[in-house]
């Protein structure tokens, strides 16, 4: 992605939502987008961070992430999940906040939301040639959006929250631009703080509050995203890739890679070769 913090893939449009019912073992670091994102856990668990708050959710749970909320997703164990993304312009859901973004099976609204999700997934299985598919999707989408708008924990965003959210996004944009240019160098916390014209301690606090992770952890994830695009080239050694992407040693590279992707670089090179899904 050209803007690492703004997701340019897996996009919805106003007529057709994005629906993926085959997601497994995801690792998405801090990002945001204009769609409402709905995550349904079918098996396993997901560590989800929204606006700096970490939650661990399990089988059956549903997470609803409103537009422009900075969030990350990680599956700590083998997991299967559905991910849906919906553009909702009326009302403008970016003007709302959801106090509790996780809906559990014992919640009063769970049956309604879950039913709406499955209706939308079912309508999406209609053939594209079906003249009623677009209407069916629109109807199912509107019903789901209405159910979300009626959740008891949803409320209008306050002016202070709008200011804080805009500040956080601008901070991340600045850091993203800096890392795109310097990720393969010896980047320190002080370097990142200077790029944002902040003290090191204030920057560290603000970054953790916005993303739910430390700058060093995010830097490693940023570098690993670059590694992912290089590792299928079998002619380049892992040591060369580690150095090209800014890791100080092959030992650090291997440790970070295994922690993030749950497989070794050697296993990933085989799994991610052309023709295989990542």
Residue-wise pLDDT for 56-93, tens only, equals 999 999 999 999 999 999 999 999 999 999 987 778 89
pLDDT > 90? residue 2: no
Residue 230 in contact with residue 220, Cβ under 8 Å? Answer: no
Average pLDDT over residues 39-56: 93
Q: Kindly list the strands in the beta sheet with 62-65, ordered across the sheet, starting from the edge strand earlier in the chain.
A: 18-24, 80-86, 36-43, 62-65, 102-103
Written out in words, the top-level CATH class of the domain with range 159-271 is mainly alpha
Determine the pLDDT at residue 274.
66
Which part of the chain has CATH 1.10.10.60?
Answer: 159-271
Residue 23 in contact with residue 63, Cβ under 8 Å? Answer: no
Per-residue pLDDT band for 175 (boundaries 50, 70, 90) equals very high
Determine the pLDDT at residue 144.
95
Distance of CA 92 to the CA centre of its chain: 21
Please give the Cα distance from 165 to 66 (Å, whole number).
Answer: 12
Determine the pLDDT at residue 103.
96
Determine the pLDDT at residue 278.
45
Determine the pLDDT at residue 160.
87
pLDDT > 90? residue 14: no
Q: Of 14-23, 41-50, 80-89, which has the strongest mean pLDDT?
A: 41-50
Please give the Cα distance from 22 to 28 (Å, whole number).
Answer: 16
* Cross-strand pairs, 72: 49
Q: Of 81-90, 173-182, 223-232, which has the strongest mean pLDDT?
A: 173-182
Determine the pLDDT at residue 90.
73
Average pLDDT over residues 28-41: 92
Q: Which CATH superfamily is domain 18-156 in?
A: Jelly Rolls (2.60.120.10)
pLDDT > 80? residue 139: yes
pLDDT > 80? residue 224: yes
Would you give the DSSP letter of residue 52? T
Per-residue pLDDT band for 1 (boundaries 50, 70, 90) equals very low
pLDDT > 70? residue 161: yes
pLDDT > 50? residue 156: yes
Give the whole-number percent of the chain exceeding pLDDT 70.
Answer: 95
Please give the Cα distance from 87 to 208 (Å, whole number).
Answer: 28
Which part of the chain has CATH 2.60.120.10?
Answer: 18-156
Per-residue pLDDT band for 8 (boundaries 50, 70, 90) equals low
């Amino acid at each position: 992605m050209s803007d690492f913090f703004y997701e340019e893939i897996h996009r919805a449009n106003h007529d057709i939502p994005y629906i993926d019912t085959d997601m497994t073992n995801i690792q998405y670091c801090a990002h945001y987008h204009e769609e409402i994102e709905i995550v349904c856990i079918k098996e396993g668990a997901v560590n989800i961070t929204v606006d700096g708050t970490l939650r661990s959710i399990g089988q059956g749970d549903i997470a609803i992430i409103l537009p422009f909320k900075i969030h990350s997703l990680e599956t700590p164990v083998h997991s299967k999940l559905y991910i849906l993304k919906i553009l909702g312009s009326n009302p403008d859901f970016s003007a709302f906040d959801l106090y509790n973004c996780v809906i559990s099976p014992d919640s009063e609204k769970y049956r309604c939301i879950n039913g709406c999700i499955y209706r939308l997934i079912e309508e999406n299985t209609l053939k594209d040639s079906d003249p009623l598919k677009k209407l069916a999707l629109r109807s199912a989408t509107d019903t789901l959006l209405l159910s979300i708008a009626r959740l008891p924990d949803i409320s209008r965003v306050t002016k202070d929250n709008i200011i804080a959210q805009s500040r956080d996004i601008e901070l991340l944009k600045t850091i993203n631009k800096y890392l795109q240019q310097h990720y393969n160098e010896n980047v320190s916390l002080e370097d990142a703080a200077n790029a944002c014209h902040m003290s090191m301690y204030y920057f560290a606090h603000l970054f953790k509050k916005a993303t739910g992770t430390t700058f060093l952890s995010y830097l490693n994830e940023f570098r690993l995203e670059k590694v992912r695009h290089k590792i299928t080239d079998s002619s380049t050694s892992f040591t060369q890739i580690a150095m090209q992407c800014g890791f100080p040693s092959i030992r650090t590279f291997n440790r970070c890679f295994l922690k993030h992707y749950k497989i070794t670089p050697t296993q990933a090179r085989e799994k991610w070769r052309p023709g295989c899904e990542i």
